[in-house]
Amino acid sequence: MKDDEGPSERMEIEFEMSLLGADGSPLMTKRDIEPIGKGEFFRFYGYTSYERFEEKRYEFLPKNTLTIRCRIWRPDIEIPTADLCFARTRMGQEHRSFVWSIKEFSKLRPEEKNSIVLQTATKGGPSPLLTLYLIGDDVTIEISDANPKIDFLICCEISVVNTDGEKTYSNTLKQWLEPALTEFLKFPKFLTKSTLMKDKDRYLPNDTLHLWCDCEIYSGEISSREEDYIKFSSSPTKAIVPALNEVENGENSENDVPS
């Protein structure tokens, strides 16, 4: 409730929050009644566990979109008409897949660093920096931010590509990087120099280590706005989500840039 809106006294409000599926039907609903006043806010806790959300992410995130329905009313007060509005928040998300080639791998000295920057298209977004070096016999990979600005979540799988083009010796890192608290993330150990050198004809063609990197980068909010879909105002709930998907697809088509 904004400071310049609504009565100054506190009032009892009933809230209902629902996570909607692809067809607009509620997958999970939580309801509560709380007193609230001008300039105050209310939080919902214990909506669902992270484990359950991950387990059912394809139900909760159709087309990678989380849709939440919020209903607000005064208990025991009959309202003749209901207002309907929509808000859309876009979160930064990018996917990068590439081959990272480390030349003259056999000559790589301990602590000698090889780095590559992932330039993201999101304005003001993170610039993940992948750095490879040796600690003893262990091949070590770190992920940091070349221009620390914002926190971001990175999900990155790195695999060795052999001469047959097959991915081997693979491992995954999924973790938040908060530059203000952590300078870098360290990839779990999964590779040694001696292992590669023992079968260098298979893993080091022309003394080059080829790493297949598949990374998803999630940053914070990049836009948020309230939208007024008047033509949906009388639609049943189950018609809203599919209709919004049509609007989303239309916007994406307009914004597509030919390659």
Band of the pLDDT at 259, cuts 50, 70, 90?
very low
The least confident of 30-34, 108-112, 140-144, 168-172 is 30-34
How far are the Cα atoms of 48, 147, 178 from residue 124, in angstroms, in the given order? 31, 10, 15
Measured in whole angstroms, the distance separating CA 252 from the mean position of its chain's CA atoms is 19
Tens of pLDDT, residue by residue over 4-18, are: 455 567 888 888 888
Does the structure show a pLDDT above 90 at 230? Answer: no
Q: Pull the structure tokens for residue 67.
A: 């849709």
Task: Match 């309801």 to its residue by tokens.
Answer: 31
Band of the pLDDT at 108, cuts 50, 70, 90?
very high
In three-state secondary structure terms, 102 is: strand
Percentage of residues of the chain with pLDDT beyond 90: 35
Predicted structure pTM score = 0.63
- The amino acid at 216: E
How many whole angstroms separate alpha carbon 219 and alpha carbon 154? Answer: 9
Contact at 8 Å (CB) between 166 and 173? no
Q: What is the mean pLDDT of the chain?
A: 80
**Residue range 124-129: average pLDDT?**
85
Residue 234 has a pLDDT of 42
Q: Pull the structure tokens for residue 95.
A: 């996917």
Contact at 8 Å (CB) between 33 and 13? yes
Residue 249 has a pLDDT of 53
How many whole angstroms separate alpha carbon 15 and alpha carbon 1? Answer: 13
Does the structure show a pLDDT above 50 at 133? Answer: yes
Does the structure show a pLDDT above 80 at 104? Answer: yes
- Closest Cα partner for 40 from 76, 74, 6, 17? 6
